[in-house]
Amino acid sequence: MLPLATYSCHTLSVFEYFVLRLSPSALQHLLDWIDPNTMVLLSRTCKTLHGAYTDYARTVWNPTRIYGRWFARPWFFRRMLRRCGGIVSGSIIFNFFDRRRRKRNVMHIFLRSAGADELCGWFSEQGYASICGGYKPNDPLWHGLHCLKAVMPQGEEGRGILATYLFEKVVVGESGIVEAFAAKLVVIDVDPVQYVLFDFDYTGEMNFLTADGAVSIFPYDTFVDRISYISWNGDENLQAAQAWTTNHARRGLTTIREGVTRMRSSFKTGQRRVLDENCWFVPFQEKLFEFPGWPDSYYGECTPLVPFEVLYLSDIKDAGLFRLKVAEPYIWRALLCDGLKGDEGDDDGWEGQEDDDEVYGGL
Q: Which of the pair, 345 or 119, is modelled with greater confidence?
A: 119
Lowest-pLDDT range of 43-47, 125-129, 233-237? 233-237
The pLDDT of residue 353? 45
Determine the Cα–Cα distance for residues 267 and 265; give it in Å rounded to an integer.
6
Q: b vs e for 292-305, b when ≥16 Cβ sit within 10 Å of the residue's Cβ?
A: eeeeebbbeebbbe
Whole-number mean pLDDT of the chain? 77
Confidence at 274, pLDDT banded by 50, 70, 90: very high
Residue 337 has pLDDT above 80, yes or no: no
Beta bridge partners of 87: 110
The pLDDT score that the predictor gives to residue 210 is 92
Q: How far is Cα 130 from Cα 108, in angstroms, rounded to an integer?
A: 15
In the chain, what are the domain boundaries?
Answer: 4-60
| Residues 168-189 pLDDT 10s | 998 887 677 888 899 999 999 8
- 214 backbone dihedrals φ, ψ, rounded to 5°: -115, 140
**Residue 209: strand pairing partners:** 88, 214
- What pLDDT score does 359 carry? 33
Q: What is the DSSP track for 72-124?
A: S-HHHHHHHHHHHT-EEESHHHHHHHHT---S--EEEEEE-STTHHHHHHHHH
For the stretch 52-65, pLDDT in tens is: 888 888 888 888 88
Residue pair 1/22 in contact by the 8 Å Cβ criterion: yes
Q: List pLDDT tens digits, range 286-335.
A: 766 565 555 678 888 888 899 999 887 665 555 556 778 898 887 766 65
Say what the pLDDT of residue 108 is: 94
Percent of the chain with pLDDT over 90: 15
Burial 308-332 (b: 16+ CB within 10 A, else e): bbbbbbbbeeeeebbbbbbbeeeeb
3-class SS of residue 198: helix
* pLDDT value at residue 284: 86
Percent of the chain with pLDDT strictly greater than 70: 71
Residues 6+ apart with CB under 8 A from 11: none
Gap between the Cα atoms of 327 and 197, Å rounded: 7
For residues 183 and 198, what is the distance between their CA atoms, to the nearest angstrom?
23
pLDDT for residue 341: 52
**Under 8 Å CB-to-CB from 285, ≥6 apart: which residues?**
58, 62
What's this model's pTM, rounded to 2 decimal places?
0.78
Q: What is the pLDDT of residue 156?
A: 40
Distance CA 138, CA 215 (A): 36
Which tops the pLDDT comparison, 360 or 313?
313
Closest-CA residue to 248 (of 201, 204, 195): 204
Q: How far apart are CA 34 and CA 103, in angstroms?
A: 22
Least confident segment among 34-48, 99-113, 314-328, 334-348: 334-348
